Amino acid sequence: MQVTETVTDGLRREFRVVIPASELDSKVSERLDELKDRVRLNGFRPGKVPAAHLRRMYGRSAMAEAIEAAMRDVNAKIVADNNFRLAMQPKVTLPEDEKSVEAVIEGKTDLAYTVAMEILAPIEIVDFKSIELNKLTADATDQEVEEGLGRIAQQNLPFADKGEGARADKNDRVTVSFVGTIDGVPFEGGSADDVAVLIGSNTFIPGFEEQLIGIAAGENRQINVTFPENYPAAHLAGKAAVFDATAKSIEAPGEVTIDDDFAKSLGLDSLDKLKGAVRERIQREHDSMSKQRVKRALFDALDERHKFELPPALVEQEFENLWSTVTSEMQDRGRTFADENTTEEKEREEYQRIADRRVRLGLLLDEIARNNDITITEDEVRRAIMEHVRQYPGREKELLEMFRTNPEAIASIRAPLIENKVTDFILALAKVNDQKVSREELYRTEDDEKAA
390 in the same domain as 273: yes
pLDDT, residue 52, reads 58
Dihedral sign (CA 38, 40, 46, 51): negative
pLDDT, residue 431, reads 97
In a domain, residue 149? The reply is no
251 in the same domain as 337: no
Of the candidates 353, 368, 360, which has an alpha carbon nearest to the alpha carbon of residue 420? 368
The enclosing domain of 170 has a CATH number of 3.10.50.40
379 in the same domain as 283: yes
The answer to whether 231 and 242 have CB atoms below 8 angstroms apart is: no
Distance CA 89, CA 313 (A): 11
75 in the same domain as 189: no
275 in the same domain as 236: no
pLDDT, residue 231, reads 84
- Work out the burial of residue 125: count CB atoms within 10 Å of its CB; fewer than 13 is exposed, 13-18 middle, 19 or more buried: middle
104 in the same domain as 6: yes
428 in the same domain as 357: yes
Which phi and psi angles does 146 have, rounded to 5°? -60, -40
In a domain, residue 262? The reply is no
313 in the same domain as 222: no
Domain boundary (255, 290, 313) is at: 255
Of the candidates 22, 74, 38, 30, which has an alpha carbon nearest to the alpha carbon of residue 55? 30
Of the candidates 354, 361, 252, which has an alpha carbon nearest to the alpha carbon of residue 308? 361
Domain boundary (255, 281, 304) is at: 255
Rounded-to-10 torsion of CA 358, 364, 369, 371 = 170
Domain of 377, in residue numbers: 267-451
pLDDT, residue 180, reads 94
The enclosing domain of 21 has a CATH number of 3.30.70.1050
pLDDT, residue 37, reads 59
Q: Quote the number of domains for the chain.
A: 3
In a domain, residue 357? The reply is yes
In a domain, residue 65? The reply is yes
318 in the same domain as 280: yes
191 in the same domain as 62: no
Residue 201 DSSP code: S
Distance CA 152, CA 72 (A): 63
Angle between helices 51-81 and 21-36 (to 10 degrees): 120
In a domain, residue 132? The reply is no
Helix (H, G, I), strand (E, B) or coil at 406: coil
Domain boundary (235, 255, 275) is at: 255
In a domain, residue 355? The reply is yes
Of the candidates 125, 334, 355, 160, which has an alpha carbon nearest to the alpha carbon of residue 255? 160
Dihedral sign (CA 48, 51, 56, 57): positive
pLDDT, residue 260, reads 96
- The total number of residues shown for the chain amounts to 452
383 in the same domain as 307: yes
Rounded-to-10 torsion of CA 412, 414, 417, 419 = -70
In a domain, residue 124? The reply is no
Q: Which residues of 32-68 are buried (b: 16+ CB within 10 A; e: fewer)?
A: beeebeeeeeeeeeeeebeeeebbeebbeebbeebbe
Q: Whole-angstrom distance between the N-terminal and C-terminal Cα of the chain?
A: 66
334 in the same domain as 440: yes
The enclosing domain of 357 has a CATH number of 1.10.3120.10
pTM for this model (two decimals): 0.77
In the chain, the largest separation of any two C-alpha atoms, in whole Å, equals: 98
List average pLDDT for each run of 10 residues in the chain, which is 452 residues long: 92 94 83 64 55 60 85 94 93 87 85 94 95 96 96 92 93 95 92 94 92 95 91 84 96 94 95 97 97 96 95 94 91 83 94 96 95 94 92 88 90 92 97 96 73 46
pLDDT, residue 448, reads 56
pLDDT, residue 452, reads 45
In a domain, residue 133? The reply is no
